[in-house]
Structure 1
Amino acid sequence: MDLTPEEIRNFVQAWYGTLAQNGGCCGSSACCEPQPAAVYPADLLVQLPPEVAGFSLGCANPLAAAHLQPGERVLDLGSGGGLDCFLAALQVGERGQVIGVDMTPAMVRRARQAAARLGLRQVEFRHGYLEHLPVATASVDVVISNCVINLVPDKNRVFAEMFRVLRPGGRIAIADVVVKGSLPASLQADPLAWSACLAGALEVETYRRGLEVAGFVQVTLIPAGEAGLTLDHIAEGIPFSALITAFKPALTPPSTPQTAPA
């Protein structure tokens, strides 16, 4: 029996609410492998207290592909406990801004408490859904996300929202779980597999086309992990972590009217 989008959302929200309160990991979930120390550079993690640096449910490091610059405005989709937001804040500096959006109230509370302890005034966390982002149109330079979009049933709506909130010329750097080929129907109907970042894994080319239909250009999708790993090395039907980048086209300046020669 197929799960409805509302059933998926409710189960995922309850699951991650429990993790936020207990500070635990999701066991066999791909979202917890590897641990933060194996994903992020040590010189970044050491700048945060252990209780913040050690809590992550991501599948890779989207910041490695984001190439953040001082003063940029960054949006993190599914910000969880806030680790990627805090690391992004260290890169954009006090002149920049980082906004985290998460649908789980317990995660938002946890992240806000951590931000207050860290004194990072350029970071804020908002409660909201990725399909309807509480963010103004054309207001951010970079969108990041870490192992979250796979949890959303309507991914095309998320792609459209990412495009909407980005300024012309803006970019995305997404870590997510995807799959070559198809997943078994039994897995897609398993609520535990949804929360474990498996059942919602989008097929690689479907992911790419979805971003292009939303308006993105220069879409790249590569397996996360060791250097030189390509899609050719990935087995069919097995979900894996990927880094996805793309750009919103810059506005084309209007042409200057030509003056007819006298």
Structure 2
Amino acid sequence: MDKLKELSENGFYIAKSITPISMHKEIFLTFYDVLISMISRHKIRTDFQIKNIEDLNYPDDIKELDKLVFAVSDFNRELMGELYDTVAYCSAFFKLIGNPEIEKTARELMSLKSYSTMYSVTHRIRMDEPKDEMRRAAWHQEIFHSYPDTRFLQTWGPVIRNSTVSNGTIEVCKKSHQHGVVDQDWEEFKGGGYAQRIIVKDEIVKKHEILQLEMNIGDVMFFDRHLIHRSGYNSSNEIRYSQVGLWNDCSYKGFRTPKPAFESRTFSPRDNYDMQMKKIRSQ
């Protein structure tokens, strides 16, 4: 089936093997390097010997990466947010999401020209730990997790290791995009999970055929902003790594670039100024 027709009929299209294995190896090493630095910086004790990064073999040593993620998460869950943000602005991740085949396919599916500008929104690599129900994404539509009055296409794909039913691969309600925005509930922060969740009502989900979409690394799924989807349940003993993100059409009439909001995790520019001036003026 033609990719545009498949997207139109089913709400999603899976492009096979469009990101090279070498790219996933680079992401794997990026995570490992950042985690080693975090463990050293925060003096995190581990009950295992951390393997030297230069001795790692990909994909044989993915479990070595899992162990580092578990160690940091168990020490201080808030550090996971810092890990997410660090990787999201690393050059390796920029190369992954800016892969020419991903760009080409996204433009084709949005019927854009080869020179049309697309804007990246909320691109991240999710790390879904085993049995973690609190942070599992419930049934939702991405339309409420983006900016109003925009035209975008969402992407999802396994990173570092394949996504399976066992490790909680993405689940979709086939053809659900055809109904546009559906009835859903806004759930405020309850502690231990998302800041808030916007959840599609169960009675609506039950009307659709649910697909659990297993994918290999290199595969990328492109899907409609109205497609109802969620994270599967990770019943394995391994972490599922997956890239998520939106490509926005900058030529769309309603598009306005969101304002980036960066905030220091240590001290503010003003705090830094005050400290430095205090040192200088006390001499």
Quickly name the TM-score band, shorter chain normalised: under 0.3
Higher relative contact order (CA 8 A, sep 6+): 2
Normalised TM-score (structure 2): 0.23
Q: TM-score, normalised by structure 1?
A: 0.24
